[in-house]
Amino acid sequence: MSESLFEQLPTKALSQIVEALENTSPSSVFNLLFIKASKAAAERVIYKSITLRGPHPTNRSPWSRTKCLIDRIVDSDDVVSSYIYELEIDNWSGPYFPEFDEAVLEKILRSLKALHSFSWKTERFIPKSVKAIFHARFPSARLCYTNTSRGRDANAGREYNMVMDLEILTSPQLHSLSYTFLKEDSGSSRSELPIMARIMTASKNLRILRFVCEPDRRFHFEDYYGFYERFGSDGHGSKNLPFSAFTLDDQLEPLEELAFSSDPLRAESFYDFSDSHCNAWRYCMDWSKLRTLDLGGQGPSPFFEIFRGYVPNLKSLSFTLTRGGLPNIGVENVRIIGNFLDSINGLEQLCVTNATNGFFPILWSHVKRHGPTLRTLKTSNVLNATWKWTEPALLELLQSCPELTELTVDVELGRGIQPNGEKESVWPKRSFSTLSQFTLLRTLHIAIVLDNPETSPGGLAAASTLATDSFVDFFRHNPLSRLRSLQLTATKAEYAPIQEIYYSIVVINVKRQERDDAPSPINGGFEVEAKRRDGRSGLWEKLMLEMRGG
């Protein structure tokens, strides 16, 4: 469309065109900045949600762009400040960088016109003056807070303040919280979780809660008791939010998203889903509003059994089928999880981390009941979990879940016969061909474990060819395929002389080129990146590939 035609379009029609491009081809929106008639409409979309990041110690280039944007925001003659609805402050450097200090933050907030959401994503406490301006100028805006690095970044020789940022945690506008709570080292029952439970009773607008509780040998609750005394707790309690001690008057506002972020490989989970705890939490909150639930490194039977039927509107569920821990997973535990899945209507996203050898097939009959509505399915294995997707299983998945747009699968290697008659592993090309028939996929992650170095298929070049050929196959089956990225992760076991096992990992990413004039992937319109993790050192290195593609 020529510039003259853009000038003839009504403002409303131009805005609708730009909004449509934002959903289908985001990079094209930036091209409209160079057309005078469409520049304002493009800026409204581009600057609707922005992130201002503090300077990197060694790379100043990104900060230069951020500084230019800040200058525009605080310029009273520039209209960009009226376009910003969502503002995120990331990696704020505090008073040590005058170009982005407290006074600059104050100017930014005073310049904005219609802020709907303010996100504070940094380890440093939010300045009281900044919080006061936000509350005064935008009393109905949402406050989002992320600090997941507490207790992990104490540099030697530097005093480390481990108190909770109560200024922001007790804000009446707190809407979303992603946080690391601290507990005293092993052997102690004292943590910050009882304080958070009390904060939650007064949080009338908290709707999203993602958290973990980490032990830290430097943390002693008594050191900060003066800050927490008003909450009436000495920090003692079980490894959970102590809702069992609540009275009938202690009711929580309903959450829309709840996540227990923990590593499935940890020997002991940070959270105790006891029967008494689950019952107490069930009675003090309306769970029908919950849309997203992430149980992290656990698949706790008490939770699934007690909450069956209480979260009918859940749309996204993540959990782990664990091999160890308490209780140890078994057939009956999987059936309890299956019954929970049956009590949900129209699940759209399911993420299962499998740390078992064969229980996912039992769960599958309950999963495929949600096939017509599932858009995302992630079934990733931890190492040594032996169940993997085969070609027949993928064909059934294709028939049961035709609407998938994002898929993560661990695929079983094929089996062949060497000239000498011995068995060997081969790349699962038939399984990959089946995957290319998912017509609506936008993102595909495939994992393969090369468990036997002596009989596993070829190395990096072969894996790269498999990944790129599989990516192109999507467009051979369907020229209108929506696939944007395919990632192949190959993990190879390496055995040291002293019977130690190291796992080296190669990750190959194939991405469709986003340029408006990019050729079809069949004609090389894609980019390939690869990296490798050394099993012994744990270090990653970028790999150079000589192959076709953009």
pLDDT of 154 reads 46
Residues 319-328: pLDDT tens digits? 988 654 434 4
pLDDT of 33 reads 67
Rounded CA separation 325/322 (Å): 7
pLDDT of 550 reads 42
**Helix H or strand E encompassing 119:** strand 117-121
pLDDT average, residue stretch 64-75: 93
> Is the sign of the CA dihedral 334, 340, 344, 347 positive or negative?
negative
- Tokens 């904060």 belong to which residue? 199
pLDDT of 327 reads 42
- Percent of the chain scoring above 70 in pLDDT: 82
Q: What are phi and psi for residue 54, nearest 5 degrees?
A: -70, 165
Cβ–Cβ under 8 Å, residues 173 and 139 = yes
pLDDT average, residue stretch 357-368: 83
Rounded alpha-carbon distances, angstroms, from residue 157 to 152, 154, 216, 259, 273:
15, 9, 17, 34, 38
Q: What is the residue extent of each domain of the chain?
A: 1-46, 399-424+435-550
Higher pLDDT pick, 32 / 432: 432
Say yes or no to pLDDT of 343 above 70.
yes
Cβ–Cβ under 8 Å, residues 179 and 213 = no
Supply the mean pLDDT for the chain.
Answer: 84
pLDDT average, residue stretch 64-91: 94
Residues 6 or more apart in contact with residue 156 via CB below 8 angstroms? none
Say yes or no to pLDDT of 408 above 90.
yes
**CA 416 from centre of chain:** 38
- Tokens 């009938």 belong to which residue? 248
Question: In a 3-state reduction of DSSP, which class is residue 383?
Answer: coil
Say yes or no to pLDDT of 300 above 80.
yes
Residues 289-299: pLDDT tens digits? 999 999 988 88
Higher pLDDT pick, 323 / 416: 416
DSSP letter (8 states) at residue 238:
-
- Tokens 């998203």 belong to which residue? 257
Tell me which of 1-5, 152-156, 327-331, 373-377 is least confident.
152-156
Rounded alpha-carbon distances, angstroms, from residue 299 to 207, 324, 336, 343:
23, 11, 10, 16
Question: In a 3-state reduction of DSSP, which class is residue 172?
Answer: coil
pLDDT average, residue stretch 439-444: 96
Q: With bands split at pLDDT 50, 70 and 90, how would you rate the model's confidence at 498?
A: low
Say yes or no to pLDDT of 115 above 90.
yes
Cβ–Cβ under 8 Å, residues 242 and 191 = no
